[in-house]
Amino acid sequence: MYIVIVGAGNIGTPLIEIATAGGNEVVVIERDEEKAERASKAFDCLVINDDATVKDTLTDAGADRADALISTTDQDATNIMVCLLGKELEVPTIVSVVHNPDHMALFRRIGVNTMENPQSLIAEYLYRAVKRPSIVDYMRIGDDAEVFEITVGDDAPVAGLTIQEAASEGLLGDEMLIVAVERNGEGNPVTPRGGTEIHVGDLLTVYSETGATPEVTDVFGHYEDDN
């Protein structure tokens, strides 16, 4: 792929590393001279030290023939301008980091794939690790729903029941779905059926419309308060 990356900062630099290591043809645009020089020395790619909000700069970078344009600067105003210019140049895939959640709708309105500020995501992840230590991993979907991984505790109400039995007893409501079961640390999760029995120690992948609330984690034997 031919990829134009705007920004060689904290987000752009690891992206450049991944993209070049993947054998892609990468062109980087970085306004800061020191960052541009550092990127040119570290990676096998063309680095342009210029302003990406100027259409000629993107043209010089070959954005008009690029497969993707990714804007990673720390300014939403810069990123939105880059994306608008990318649309004018008909770049097939345009992706941008968005720092202010209030701006997310604006980016999506112009047809840009967005990624929330990774620093905010990391902060939320760390907070979740303290607030909900039973959650191994999670992904938010929309405002409330989440997909998360959780291990079945020794005294979990669902332990020893089949999924169908747990649902019949009201432990798994309509808003919850067990997506996968990993057993004995085998690393090969299976797709559960109604007759699949839930065992203590199982690592479950769960979808919950209400998120991983205490009421939900209680079902799997993790009695955490909401304070």
> What confidence score (pLDDT) does residue 64 get?
95
> What confidence score (pLDDT) does residue 164 get?
94
Structure tokens at 147: 């997909």
User: Collapsing DSSP states into helix, strand and coil, what is residue 40?
Assistant: helix
> What confidence score (pLDDT) does residue 127 get?
66
Looking up tokens 């939403």, which residue turns up? 76
Instruction: Write the CA distances from 206 to 112, 115, 139, 168, integer angstroms.
Output: 29, 23, 10, 17
**Among candidates 17, 14, 63, 66, which has minimal Cα distance to 50?**
63
Maximum Cα–Cα distance across the chain? 65
Looking up tokens 């063309």, which residue turns up? 46
Pick the CATH number of 132-219 from 1.10.1040.10, 2.60.40.10, 3.30.70.1450, 3.90.660.20: 3.30.70.1450
136 neighbors 154 (Cβ within 8 angstroms):
no
> What confidence score (pLDDT) does residue 101 get?
82
pLDDT tens series, the chain, 227 aa = 999 999 999 989 999 999 999 999 999 999 999 999 999 999 999 999 999 999 999 999 999 999 999 999 999 999 999 999 999 999 999 999 998 888 888 898 888 988 766 666 666 666 666 666 677 777 777 778 888 899 999 999 999 999 999 999 999 988 999 999 998 876 678 889 999 999 999 999 999 998 888 888 899 998 765 44
55 neighbors 44 (Cβ within 8 angstroms):
no
- 126's enclosing H/E stretch is helix 118-131
212 neighbors 138 (Cβ within 8 angstroms):
yes
What is the value of pTM for the model shown?
A: 0.64
Looking up tokens 């929309």, which residue turns up? 142
> What confidence score (pLDDT) does residue 132 get?
67
* Domain assignments of the chain as residue spans, ordered by start: 2-116, 132-219
φ/ψ bin of 86: left (φ > 0), alpha (ψ from -120 to 50), beta (otherwise): alpha
**Among candidates 84, 127, 141, 90, which has minimal Cα distance to 109?**
84
> What confidence score (pLDDT) does residue 131 get?
63
- 51's enclosing H/E stretch is none
Looking at domain 2-116, which CATH architecture does it have?
3-Layer(aba) Sandwich (3.40)
3-state class percentages of the chain: helix first, strand second, coil last, to nearest 5: 35, 25, 40
